[in-house]
Amino acid sequence: MKKISYIVLISLLACSCRKAIVPNSTNEAPRIPWGDSSQNHPRNGAYTKLINKYNKLGLPGISLLINDQYGTWIGSVGKADLGKNIDFAPVQVSKVASITKLMMGALVFDMIEDSVNTGIGYASLHQKISTWLPGNVTRKIPNGNTATFGQLLNHESGIPDLAEEDDFYLAVLNSPNKIWSPNELLGYIEGTAAVFNPGDTAIYSNTNTLLIAMILEKASGKNHGALLRERIIQPLGLDHTFYHPHDALPDHVAQGYFDLYRNHTLLNVSNFMTGNGCGYNGVYSTVTDLHQFLQALLVKKTLLSQRSLDLMMRTGKSDGNNRYGYGMMRKFINREPDAGWGHSGRDLGYSANLFYFPATNGRPAVSHAFLVNYGTDADSFLEETFTQFQNELLDLTLQ
């Protein structure tokens, strides 16, 4: 019996000793990389009041950066780690979730512009994905033999979203901190029906960006995480941006929370990984790095050529209040002409927005980036609070 107790104890200890991917946060968030003049911003009071209001209403931590005609305002409120009572810093590293897709879109066009070295060019946008992916992969995927590379980028492929599959969530619950391989993830849509014929309409699917990552690797012979670092993160000096698990995470990442059991409690779900590092998710960053990326991509236009940008911003069919260009999201189209270019990010315990609103009808251009360490993609008591925060932010910044 002693032996049996010993075996039980050892197996329990073995399981509890596995390392957390996102350990408890430390109080070492980076500093604002420029002389901060937010206190002198004419809307300082309004922006501060806004984030304080929504922190009081329940969002655990918020960092917000707004760039408008008066300059750049940055602020934060709440906690990055509720357990350790660590403040959510203005330059807090937090998960940006699907903003990863915008970076992947930029990477695609950066590689297209360097077609001699990368194996993909503008013509690739119209080629079928079977040009790069082998038959044993495309056969598994609904529309795998008909969808084009471009249709992956603007979500017109009709390929089902693996993140909509119950089996996938059961597997995430079973192995929360598992690092998934692309082929394992594709297994969750194997045998399912296509959502629509390629080009018929547009419906957002995480699987599209997973396949884009696979194609970039096939075409270039390089790991797409290394390509993202080499072509986007490093050249732009995004020093606090990490593409996990290709990059190790620092120890000051914000914890992510969600009311998983719908009983008005917040669970720390930081270590529930829904496919980090497979193209559609996995970037952790700060609002300052996101701002720098958006400036280079859309404002100063130093990252890509105008031809590439025009393609990224040529939107197709609408998907609710969103339209998609090649790797770019046009969100809030119900607010036209105040719709934004960029991407939103929603994961189990994290939410983020990164949008640029070009000048229209006398309103100067505005961009904003925010990170919230609460998941708002599923039904919960803070979902409506988050929607109100987003709407109030838009109303305030697009006056």
Please give the Cα distance from 142 to 138 (Å, whole number). Answer: 8
Please give the Cα distance from 28 to 44 (Å, whole number). Answer: 25
Tell the smallest beta-carbon distance from residue 175 to another protein (Å): 5
Tokens 């910044």 map to which residue? 397
The binder of another protein chosen from 123, 173, 193, 359 (CB under 8 A): 173
**Choices 111-119, 168-176, 242-250, 332-340; region in contact with another protein by CB under 8 A:** 168-176
Query: Exposure pattern of 168-187 as b/e (b: 16+ CB <10 Å)?
Result: beebbeeebebebebeebbb
7/193 with CB nearer another protein: 7
DSSP secondary structure letter of residue 129: G
The binder of another protein chosen from 78, 144, 225, 375 (CB under 8 A): 78
Tell the smallest beta-carbon distance from residue 18 to another protein (Å): 7
60/182 with CB nearer another protein: 60
**Choices 112-120, 167-175, 182-190, 292-300; region in contact with another protein by CB under 8 A:** 167-175
Q: Provide the token pair at 399.
A: 């006056």
- Under the criterion CB under 8 A, does residue 271 sit at the interface with another protein? yes
The binder of another protein chosen from 109, 132, 242, 272 (CB under 8 A): 272
Please give the Cα distance from 105 to 325 (Å, whole number). Answer: 9
The binder of another protein chosen from 126, 264, 301, 314 (CB under 8 A): 264
x/- map, 124-163, another protein, by CB under 8 A: ----------------------------------------
The binder of another protein chosen from 134, 170, 191, 336 (CB under 8 A): 170
- Under the criterion CB under 8 A, does residue 176 sit at the interface with another protein? yes
- Residue 323 and residue 313 in contact, taking contact as beta carbons nearer than 8 Å: no
Residues sharing a CB contact under 8 Å with residue 211, sequence separation 6 or more, in sequence order:
129, 133, 141, 152, 159, 279
Tell the smallest beta-carbon distance from residue 331 to another protein (Å): 26
Q: Provide the token pair at 303.
A: 């990252």
- Under the criterion CB under 8 A, does residue 83 sit at the interface with another protein? yes
The binder of another protein chosen from 89, 120, 133, 269 (CB under 8 A): 269
DSSP secondary structure letter of residue 296: I
Tokens 């000051």 map to which residue? 252
Residue from 119, 125, 188 nearest 157 by CA: 125
**Phi/psi of residue 207, nearest 5 degrees:** -60, -30
**393 vs 30, 257, 329, 387, CA distance in Å?**
25, 22, 18, 10
For residue 160, the SS3 value is coil
The binder of another protein chosen from 26, 130, 177, 201 (CB under 8 A): 177
Q: What residue ranges bind another protein (CB under 8 A)?
A: 4, 7-8, 11-12, 14-16, 18, 55-56, 58, 60, 78-79, 82-83, 85, 166-167, 170-171, 173-178, 255, 257, 260-269, 271-272, 379
